[in-house]
Amino acid sequence: MKSDFFTNSFLTNLNKNYISNKKEDNHSKISIVMPSYNQVKFIENSILSILNQEHHSIELIIVDGGSTDGTTDIIKKYEKHIAYWVSEKDEGQSDALNKGFEKCTGEIYGWLNADDVYLPYTFQKIARTFHDNHNKLIVYGDWLEIDQENNIISKNYSFDFSLKQFIYEGYCLHPQALFWKKDVHLRFGKFDKDLKTNMDAHMIIMFARNEGEKKFHLIPNFLSAWRRHKGQISGNSPHRALADQRIFYKRYITKRPNIIFCSIIWFVFRFRRMWWYFKRAGFFYVFNKLKNTFSRNFKI
């Protein structure tokens, strides 16, 4: 599926329309941490998707793992608009995230990988939602999946957060479309540097355990676009992912139910997922999801 929003002309306008002399306003400061490593092809779009937000109090922090492909040249191009950046060898993405969040001074935090993008007006929606919902600490929304040329592959709809569903059935939100209050991160602490993948699951589970499910709030709008490409960490290291999964369950899922219970609860939550998809996107969206799942499982 193609979209006029993600055409090359849009990305050209993104470069063209950046206004460097933004005046401060009364909105809460939003701090975004961007871990990066050898993402020269995509990082400029990611940076501009933040700098072009219609929200004046933005703090961008980039922690690069010592890129050698020209990524740092792109960062230097925008460094006067970047609150802090560093390029040095690190111990992986979890280490980079820890370094970045230590530098944050905003009231609202977010994390955007250097190959993904925020959609326009996302920060306005986030700031307004936190302002209007004082009892909510974690806000999230829907996300797009895009390819290397910025074409939309799929639309993904979030639904009301359930910790058990997240653990036993799968993600009901996406970390690149997730924002949280500073105090939430302070209670969370640090990412586990032994996790080279799955650090997002660790973060979300600890958010839920520390704050409670009722502190999560869904915005029924698309907030970000997650990019699928050959160079991404997720999906390209199955052995590393399996090793991380063992670490993850041992340290953060203290009690695993037996296989029969897992199967039952998975089925219940899968039905809940389909029900939410039906409510949010309609019958044909659910039908296509089921068809694609069936095709993958039986390799049709």
**Which CATH number covers residue 163?**
3.90.550.10
List Cβ neighbours of 29 (8 Å cut-off, separation of 6 or more): 57, 58, 59, 105, 106, 107, 108
The number of residues in the chain equals: 300
- Residues 279 and 237 both lie in one domain: no
Say how far apart CA 51 and CA 121 lie, in whole Å. Answer: 11
Say how far apart CA 179 and CA 111 lie, in whole Å. Answer: 8
DSSP 8-state assignment for residue 80: G
The mean pLDDT of 198-222, rounded to a whole number, is 95
Helix (H) or strand (E) holding 73: helix 71-77
**Sequential DSSP letters for 202-221:** HHHHHHHHHH-GGGEEEEEE
DSSP 8-state assignment for residue 98: H
- Residues 250 and 274 both lie in one domain: no
How many structural domains compose the chain?
2
Q: For residue 291, give its domain range.
A: 260-300
Whether 20 has a pLDDT exceeding 50, the answer reads: no
- Residues 154 and 280 both lie in one domain: no
Say how far apart CA 127 and CA 85 lie, in whole Å. Answer: 24
Identify whether 22 is part of a domain: no
- Residues 211 and 76 both lie in one domain: yes
With pLDDT > 70 as the criterion, what percentage of the chain qualifies?
Answer: 84
φ/ψ bin of 235: left (φ > 0), alpha (ψ from -120 to 50), beta (otherwise): left
145 neighbors 154 (Cβ within 8 angstroms): yes
Identify whether 196 is part of a domain: yes
- Residues 270 and 220 both lie in one domain: no
Average pLDDT over the chain reads 86
Query: pLDDT tens, 156-200?
Result: 999 999 998 998 888 899 999 999 999 999 999 999 998 888 899
Identify whether 21 is part of a domain: no
- Residues 220 and 274 both lie in one domain: no
Helix, strand or coil, per DSSP, at residue 57? coil
- Residues 204 and 287 both lie in one domain: no
Give the Cα-Cα-Cα angle 190, 173, 158 (nearest 5 degrees).
160
What count of other Cβ atoms lies within 10 Å of the Cβ of residue 23? 6
Query: pLDDT tens, 233-261?
Result: 655 566 666 777 777 777 777 666 667 87
Which spans in 189-281 are helix H?
A: 199-211, 238-252, 259-281
- Residues 264 and 251 both lie in one domain: no
Identify whether 64 is part of a domain: yes
When pLDDT is cut at 50, 70 and 90, the band that residue 268 belongs to is: very high
- Residues 144 and 197 both lie in one domain: yes
Identify whether 37 is part of a domain: yes
Q: Single out the residue in 256, 271, 286 at which a domain terminates.
A: 256
Query: pLDDT tens, 91-119?
Result: 999 999 999 999 999 999 999 999 999 99
DSSP 8-state assignment for residue 86: E
**Sequential DSSP letters for 25-53:** -SSPPEEEEEEESS-TTTHHHHHHHHHTS
Helix (H) or strand (E) holding 167: helix 163-168
- Residues 120 and 195 both lie in one domain: yes
Both tokens of 152, joined, read 């939309």
Q: Single out the residue in 240, 256, 272 at which a domain terminates.
A: 256
Count Cβ atoms within 10 A of the Cβ of residue 281 and give its class: 0-12 exposed, 13-18 middle, 19 or more buried: middle
- Residues 217 and 130 both lie in one domain: yes
- Residues 240 and 279 both lie in one domain: no
